[in-house]
Structure 1
Amino acid sequence: MSDTPPVSRRVMNLAQFLRQAARRFPDAIGFVHGEQVLTFAQMDARVDAMAAALSARGIGKGDRILVQSRNCLEMFESMFVAFRLGAVWVPTNFRQTPEDVAYLASASGAKAMICHKDFPDHVTVARAAAPTLTTLVEIGSASFGPDYNALVAAHLGMRFPAADVERDDPCWFFFTSGTTGRPKAAVLTHGQMAFVITNHLADLMPGTTAHDASLVVAPLSHGAGVHQLVQMARAVKTVLLAAEKFDAEEAWRLVERWRITNVFTVPTITKLLVEHPSVDAYDHSSLRHVIYAGAPMYREDQKFALRKLGKVLVQYFGLGEVTGNITVLPPALHHPEDGPGVKIGTCGFARTGMEIQIQDEAGAEVAAFETGEICVCGPAVFAGYYNNPEANLKAFRDGWFRTGDLGHMDDEGFLYITGRASDMYISGGSNVYPREIEEKVLEHPAVAEVAILGMPDPTWGEVGVAVCVPRPGATLLGAEIVAFLKGKVARYKLPRHVFVWNELPKSAYGKITKKLIREEITARGLMPAPPAP
């Protein structure tokens, strides 16, 4: 036996990013929300105070802190509070139902809950579902627990040292959106996230400094939270929309007011921003990086955004389990027009330090241009799903994380996403990948949005169903779409049914979700009932 003691894998506690910003730029503005403006030093002191308050209530390293709140100062601070304690941040999407949040409380084993005053029902149901939940803190009032800001005021001035952490210590339970079942808690760790932050700065927004400013237009509970944690690493000010609902004009006003240089979005929000008339009313010349993720952006939408904003678009692809760290398509490779050498439809190449492989069902790598499952390995891959060995068994194979997305790579290593494995349908024995057809539909001048999915059919097994949203003022008939597609896609790929709706149902994260559309088609009785077995 060796007498060599085990080597510690100690790493920096992520809360140190705020501490470092406060030391270097104590009086610089770190946070803006409407009329609320705080410096980095003020934020750091508040995080110390809340960490001390929770510590006094028995919350410490490894404990899970559930947070149910819309974007606000306290929501953002709670991330650093959890990290400083060595606890685990468990944010919910504030649009989730009380029952959804109760499940997250139970599944995470949460010991504390920080909840905005607007969600008392979430607290009631969560407490009933999670016997581990012993500590409650309320943002904005004190009806179901002590007020967050009162606790901060009572402990202000106390210095709270960040907990010692190792690389694999969890810091964040990043719950998946649950499109194929119950949400799962992806365990993100201090060491993993340190790599992710460095990688984001290198690959997505190189040259970011304390002179930059970042606008938040999406919930901090998920991708936007990762993005703002990255901003803290460079002492970048964070600016939140003042309105509770997304307001494109307010966003552009804030871009001009605060000289915003970067913003994290999803394609649907990017589309709303660039198609709103206010994009031409405010100065957005300060923007260098408009980063979109969560889903590929359709080519026609890309072109329009580039014409409005210039070459500032940055795309990345990656699930919550890999915190977005799979590919990057930088501004230089976003071209406003098609032409020779333009790679249309790619989501980019592998991020620094990450490896992508397209695999068949047996786990073997397939050739270039051949479709298979997108698999990835590297330091950004999460530590696994919390308390879910069955899901972990399905998610990993020979050290590769299986994304569940289908795609192919070209001979230069650029990745093209075909769609989710669950999106593919089989019609008359042929595999159909909706993404390709959706791109063609969006070339129709009257179509604003489209989703295509397979629905059961007694003759063909499944048939394609397209749901289209017309552009404002335009009229659209289903027969026009089918006629428009003829000659552009193979006959067997033509949608059998085309429906025109005023809007597409979207998830709490602003994404077009096929599951919700399928449910709506069924609820409206638009498809014939399948034959009895």
Structure 2
Amino acid sequence: MKLLSDVHERNASLFPNAPAIVFGQQVISFGSHWRRLNQLADGLHRGGARRQDRIAMLAMNTPEYIEAYGACERGGYIFSTVNFRLAAPEIAFVLKDSAPHTLIFEAQYAELVDSLRSELEIESYICLGGQTPPWALSYEEVLAAGSPEGPPFRGKPDDGVLIMYTSGTTGRPKGVLRSQYGEARLAEVMAGQLAMTSDGRQLLMMPFFHAGSRSQYIGSFWKGGAVHMHRVFDPQLILKTIEADRITHLHLAPTMVQSILDVPDIGDYDLSSVRTILYAAAPMPVPVLRRGLAVFGPVFANGYGSTEVNCTCHYPHQHKLNGTPDEVRRLGSVGQPATDTDIRIVDDHGNECPAGTPGEVVARSGTALMRYWNNDKATAQSLRDGWFRTGDVGYLDDEKFLFLVDRKKDMIISGGENVYCREVEEALITHPALSDVAVIGVPDAKWGETVKAVAVLAPGRHATQDDLIEHARSLIARYKCPKSVIFVDDLPRLPSGKVSKVILRQLYGACL
């Protein structure tokens, strides 16, 4: 069976001079990419790393990130990503938990890494770019010492190849261990679901420590397509890159789509090359979707997944704003089960729910995690008989379109009634004065919990708390409607683009 290292080798053989990675003015061919990842894999081996040792990386988006991923795929190491946005104690926890043999870090993080070294049991430190500190090795020197043939071993299908840490929305982040086999299946699924091709040019700016960018670029490589990288999200630069490089595929959170659509001169750019914009991590407000379709055409595809199960559902190019009642209703869904994925909706006792009845979403897929790293309890709680319990509450319609209604832990119980945050949010966001909104439960002596909305007004628009509450009452039952509304400039978000309900509850959850 083909693994990702086989894909890199195939691309180097079939398209040696074709661009694999484009980063500003830097263009790396498939031939060069294969040679460099082999050298890095062997350089790590010469430095003492062995199969299934962990290789951690602390860096922003850079071509070497994809290179390090590839070296671990080739050499049978386990790559462990580190979120550069975390605070020092959080980074220390991730590094202690994954216990890497080697940490590759960008020079900008040298002072941070140095401050943590006494707490860690890392054998080798490799500095990328900038000035290398005396206690670390230079990335390019390690790579130059390695053989273009790679180390004397390769990854196997049932090897672990990646530990990616969750966002930590329910406490400490959990390390999700993914396999060589599962990552290859994920690449094949994404390539098929998004119709990727060898002439495709994908633009990615989501952080590469996150599952989103990872799933997208391996899908492109599966077909021999090029990956264009941005270091950070810059809406104007994205539009310039689409026009100049004839970008065909993009992966964006809905908030990013809105920011791009808000660029004042967007109409001056040639965006005709775009074939697919995959949005994921959060629902797309229908007003934003309408604007997007008007600017880009029918290129939008919705995706639903997780670090643990990857691409669970997909809704490709089926957005019909003026379609039949069923087609319009399904704009609120996250699509149908992806290739290689089965989905069930179960109640608290594990019994399957009938169509239209909410319950917990459980999924089974060849792309799913092997287990949680160093966390048997969490593994036992989440993986049962091959089915992963997502913690999401949703329902399936009669054609297996999945509608999400809440995170299980975020569901509000008010006066004994279940209130699903997403249902309230979808009602509120239709108010023309809003650009964003999130709903949380707050303690209440009489009702147990009541609904609170945290709202962001659109530029130049105005609305009061009473306006929004009355608007919600016209669309959903009164007991589901907010009892209070607070207006903010922006909502706190995780790297994936999801709203951080943990932070919202910390800031606004103690009072009405």
TM-score range, shorter chain: over 0.9
| Aligned twin of 1:104 | 94
CA contact (8 A) 1:303 1:337 kept: no
Partner Cα separation in structure 2 for residue 62 and residue 161 of structure 1: 13
- Deviation of 1:149 (Å): 2.0
- Deviation of 1:195 (Å): 1.4
Q: Which amino acid aligns with 1:428?
A: G
Match runs of 1:477-516 below 5 Å: 477-516=464-503
- Deviation of 1:209 (Å): 2.0
Deviations 1:40-89 (A, max 9, x none): 21222221222221111011210001100000011121100111111001
| Aligned twin of 2:206 | 218
Whether 1:57 aligns to 2:47 is: yes
* Number of aligned positions between the proteins: 507
Partner Cα separation in structure 1 for residue 49 and residue 266 of structure 2: 46
Match runs of 1:210-289 below 5 Å: 210-222=198-210, 223-241=212-230, 244-289=231-276
Partner Cα separation in structure 1 for residue 152 and residue 446 of structure 2: 63
Alpha-carbon spacing, 1:35–1:116, altered in 2? closer, same or farther (3 Å): same
| Aligned twin of 1:425 | 412
- Given candidates 132, 147, 150, the residue that maps to 2:141 is 150
Deviations 1:190-228 (A, max 9, x none): 11111111111222x12x222110101201112102211
Coordinate RMSD, CA, aligned: 1.7
SS of residue matched to 1:401: strand
CA contact (8 A) 1:99 1:122 kept: no
CA contact (8 A) 2:191 2:222 kept: no
Deviations 1:1-42 (A, max 9, x none): xxxxxxxxxx54422222221111111122111122221212
Partner Cα separation in structure 2 for residue 66 and residue 345 of structure 1: 38
Match runs of 1:33-48 below 5 Å: 33-48=23-38
SS of residue matched to 2:361: strand
- Given candidates 459, 466, 472, the residue that maps to 2:453 is 466
Whether 1:330 aligns to 2:309 is: no
Q: Which amino acid aligns with 2:127?
A: E
Match runs of 1:337-376 below 5 Å: 337=322, 339-342=324-327, 343-376=330-363
- Deviation of 1:351 (Å): 1.2
| Aligned twin of 1:175 | 165
CA contact (8 A) 1:329 1:347 kept: yes
CA contact (8 A) 1:374 1:404 kept: yes
CA contact (8 A) 1:196 1:323 kept: yes
Partner Cα separation in structure 2 for residue 87 and residue 126 of structure 1: 23
Q: Which amino acid aligns with 2:274?
A: L
- Deviation of 1:247 (Å): 0.8
Q: Which amino acid aligns with 1:340?
A: P
- % identical equivalent positions: 30
- Deviation of 1:126 (Å): 4.4
- Deviation of 1:321 (Å): 0.4
CA contact (8 A) 2:190 2:215 kept: no
Whether 1:521 aligns to 2:508 is: yes
CA contact (8 A) 1:455 1:463 kept: yes
CA contact (8 A) 2:79 2:163 kept: yes
Partner Cα separation in structure 2 for residue 251 and residue 359 of structure 1: 41
Q: Which amino acid aligns with 1:527?
A: C
Partner Cα separation in structure 1 for residue 229 and residue 368 of structure 2: 29
SS of residue matched to 1:55: helix
Alpha-carbon spacing, 1:336–1:285, altered in 2? closer, same or farther (3 Å): farther
- Deviation of 1:173 (Å): 0.6
| Aligned twin of 1:130 | 120
SS of residue matched to 2:368: coil
Q: Which amino acid aligns with 1:510?
A: G
CA contact (8 A) 1:66 1:89 kept: yes
- Deviation of 1:449 (Å): 0.4
- Deviation of 1:358 (Å): 0.3
Alpha-carbon spacing, 1:164–1:246, altered in 2? closer, same or farther (3 Å): closer
Q: Which runs of 5+ in 1 are unaligned?
A: 1-10, 529-533
> Structure 1 residue runs of 4+, over 4 Å off?
none
TM-score (norm 2): 0.95
Partner Cα separation in structure 1 for residue 496 and residue 396 of structure 2: 28
- Deviation of 1:153 (Å): 3.5
Partner Cα separation in structure 2 for residue 177 and residue 485 of structure 1: 31
Alpha-carbon spacing, 1:509–1:97, altered in 2? closer, same or farther (3 Å): farther
Q: Which amino acid aligns with 2:201?
A: A
TM-score (norm 1): 0.92
- Deviation of 1:291 (Å): 0.8
Whether 1:296 aligns to 2:294 is: no
Partner Cα separation in structure 2 for residue 520 and residue 104 of structure 1: 26
SS of residue matched to 2:470: helix
Partner Cα separation in structure 2 for residue 278 and residue 196 of structure 1: 37
SS of residue matched to 2:295: helix
